[in-house]
Structure 1
């Protein structure tokens, strides 16, 4: 099982401004719809439909995550459109939707998530080790760190969407 080590921050300035000022260089942009099909306090199963906005190609994934905090175990693999559609139809949940901008900030790869259903933008960085994550000093435009604030987690936002549906 792969280990995902990431830190997340609330973006304090519009990401478009970062692009215009040459602070970040966009590598790709995706449209993501994600739905959780099972979750417990420290485990989750989700599916995603991911549209690459430059090629208009779709990818469908199924992900299992285990753990809490900066480092979590993660297993992700591709599934077919047919399987994705069956899961979505079977559960009838409202997907969490966002655009993900993957960009370079110097030598650092950052992912910026711009959500549709909530009024915040998140920038995240993945690391190869806990030492790397612990020693990371974010630039000021990253804003408040939310790595440990569950109210900003995708899972929490998605759960809120489901309660609003009823």
Structure 2
């Protein structure tokens, strides 16, 4: 089960340099958007992912792929291939109170067709923690409950 909150980020208001944190170079595409069936290249790892419907909480299953299988399926993607850099940042750097000390911010900086879009996601162990979460002040609009910012929907949009 994936339980996450998602926020729009103004890159000019980041209180740090993303390059100071580990980065994942991600490329992903969607074979189906309802239900979500995605392929992803994460650095040199490859996955096929199924996600159920939902906004904050969704079932998620990841299966490993070979590079050849990924490249074969890539030609069957519906919509655009999404490219982004994901920086993994300890939330404790910004919030020291509460039960957030072990959580991480996944900061996605999109490129190519989605250049300029920056999203932050935080994953939680349970819905109660997710719903009571108070984000750092530099987080922008909460788009958790907007399917518009699901990557599967971004892959289908013609304009950002």
CA contact (8 A) 2:30 2:78 kept: no
The equivalences for 1:12-91 within 5 A come to 12-14=10-12, 17-20=14-17, 26=21, 28-40=22-34, 43-51=35-43, 58-91=44-77
Question: What is the CA-CA distance between 1:89 and the residue it aligns to?
Answer: 2.6
Question: What is the CA-CA distance between 1:11 and the residue it aligns to?
Answer: 1.2
How far, CA to CA, are the matches of 1:50 and 1:95 in structure 2?
Answer: 13
Aligned residue pairs, count: 148
Pair 70,91 (structure 1): closer, same or farther in 2 beyond 3 Å: closer
1:132 matched to 2:124 = no
- Listed as ranges, the gaps of 5+ residues in structure 2 are 93-100
Pair 142,81 (structure 1): closer, same or farther in 2 beyond 3 Å: same
Question: What is the CA-CA distance between 1:9 and the residue it aligns to?
Answer: 0.4
Q: What is the SS of the residue equivalent to 2:135?
A: coil
TM-score by length of 1: 0.81
Q: What is the SS of the residue equivalent to 2:83?
A: strand
TM-score by length of 2: 0.83
CA contact (8 A) 1:13 1:141 kept: no
* Match of residue 141 from structure 1: 138
Which has more helix, going by share of residues?
Answer: 1
Question: What is the CA-CA distance between 1:91 and the residue it aligns to?
Answer: 4.4
Q: Over the residues paired in the alignment, what is the CA RMSD in angstroms?
A: 2.2
Q: What is the SS of the residue equivalent to 1:144?
A: strand
The runs of 4+ residues in structure 1 deviating greater than 6 Å are none
Question: What is the CA-CA distance between 1:12 and the residue it aligns to?
Answer: 2.9
CA contact (8 A) 2:30 2:77 kept: no
Pair 68,84 (structure 1): closer, same or farther in 2 beyond 3 Å: same
Q: Deviations over 1:84-137 (max 9, x none)?
A: 011113448531110000111212311000011222200110000011101111
CA contact (8 A) 2:2 2:60 kept: yes
